[in-house]
Amino acid sequence: MDFSPIFKSLLSLWYLIPLFLFAAIVNSRRFKGILGEFIVNVFAKWKLDKDVYHLIKNVTLPTEDGTTQIDHIIVSVYGLFVVETKNIKGWIFGSTNQKMWTQKIYKHSNKFQNPLHQNYKHTKTLQSILSLEDSQIHSVIVFIGDSEFRTPMPDNVTYGMGYIRYIQSKTEAVISPEQVNEITQIIEEGRLARTFKNHREHVKHVQSIVAEKAKKNLCPKCGSEMVLRETKKGDNKGKPFWGCSAFPKCRNIVAYEN
């Protein structure tokens, strides 16, 4: 059988290969993260006075147990704003104290870490390094992409340009101009160099944390830890089961398997 016509047809479609590669890159998690950070940077440079607000982006700092990576730090006399970016689509459900938030796209749901909790380590690391008071540092979460909040969110959890409005809502000076310059210098000098090696080591550190958390038995409904309990009544009296530690707020149970 002569396969030459088939090969010729395939060769005639060579131009589709770059399109497939481009589509794969655009839909990758890494690209979406970079795009989200880029959009936040553009908003900051466009709407915030450069003489008042000093933007420092993509900062990796050493910590006692490894490293922590911060998307954006904005230094001003009105405080230090630590900005965490989330490029997520769909309906977003969550509250301040929930460990896990929910992303819902049609009938599919996905759990992800509460970004306020995620950003807590960032703010505390900076607070420790810079000796700042709670009133001088602000955690800010900004969602980028086709997403919509379906539960009430605190003021510092924003969408798109909302994070700019939140920053500009702080009008009381809590840091002196001299401190602004000093803080900016300390962060720039204390950050790890933006090299592939440092980025790879930070990713490895994050992956180890995720793997450690995955070992824990977490509630599939709210993300709290599951604890082993025993049925007190009925035909199953004495039989063990996994119950959510957030009971009675969450009544989810999972069958115990030996």
Query: What are the tens digits of pLDDT across the range 47-68?
Result: 999 999 999 988 888 777 777 8
Q: Is residue 168 part of a domain?
A: yes
pLDDT digits (tens, 9 = 90+) for 130-184: 999 999 999 999 998 888 999 999 999 999 889 999 999 999 999 999 999 999 9
CA distances from 4 to 11, 13, 99, 101 (A): 10, 14, 59, 55
Q: Is residue 11 part of a domain?
A: no
- With residue 158 as reference, give the H or E element that holds it: strand 157-159
Question: Is residue 123 over pLDDT 50?
Answer: yes
Answer yes or no: do 68 and 130 share one domain.
yes
Closest CA to 118 of 75, 160, 71, 150: 71
Answer yes or no: do 163 and 94 share one domain.
yes
Answer yes or no: do 195 and 244 share one domain.
no
- Which residues, listed in sequence order, are joined to residue 87 by a DSSP beta bridge? 144
Q: How far apart are CA 8 and CA 81, in angstroms?
A: 58
Task: Report, as an integer, the average pLDDT of 93-119.
Answer: 89
Name the domain count of the chain: 2
For residue 152, whether the previous peptide bond is cis, meaning omega lies within 30 degrees of 0, is no
Please calculate the CA angle 64-187-46 and round it to the nearest 5 degrees: 130
Using pLDDT thresholds of 50, 70 and 90, give the confidence band for residue 5.
Answer: low
- For the record, the structure tokens of 241 come out as 């089961």
Residue 140 near residue 71 (C-beta atoms within 8 A): no
Answer yes or no: do 103 and 230 share one domain.
no
Answer yes or no: do 247 and 155 share one domain.
no
* Helix ranges (DSSP H) in 13-103: 16-26, 29-47
pTM over 0.75: no
Residues 6+ apart with CB under 8 A from 207: none
Q: Is residue 13 part of a domain?
A: no
Residue 100 near residue 88 (C-beta atoms within 8 A): no
Q: What are phi and psi of 230, to 5 degrees?
A: -130, 135
- For the record, the structure tokens of 70 come out as 């911060």
Answer yes or no: do 234 and 126 share one domain.
no
Q: How far apart are CA 60 and CA 137, in angstroms?
A: 18
Using pLDDT thresholds of 50, 70 and 90, give the confidence band for residue 111.
Answer: confident
Arithmetic mean of pLDDT over the chain:
79
CB atoms under 10 Å from CB of 88, counted, come to 19
Q: Is residue 6 part of a domain?
A: no
90-99, 124-133, 248-257 — which is least confidently predicted?
248-257
- Which residues, listed in sequence order, are joined to residue 218 by a DSSP beta bridge? 225
Q: Is residue 1 part of a domain?
A: no
Q: Is residue 5 part of a domain?
A: no
Answer yes or no: do 54 and 175 share one domain.
yes
Range of the domain at 33: 19-214
CB atoms under 10 Å from CB of 22, counted, come to 10
Answer yes or no: do 162 and 136 share one domain.
yes
Answer yes or no: do 147 and 244 share one domain.
no
- For the record, the structure tokens of 43 come out as 């908003």
Answer yes or no: do 210 and 242 share one domain.
no
Q: Is residue 219 part of a domain?
A: no
State the Rg of the chain over Cα.
Answer: 23
Q: Is residue 221 part of a domain?
A: no
**How many angstroms separate the first and last alpha carbons of the chain?**
58
228 CA to centre of own chain: 30
Answer yes or no: do 111 and 76 share one domain.
yes
CA distances from 138 to 91, 178, 214, 256 (A): 25, 19, 30, 43
Answer yes or no: do 47 and 120 share one domain.
yes
Using pLDDT thresholds of 50, 70 and 90, give the confidence band for residue 23.
Answer: very low
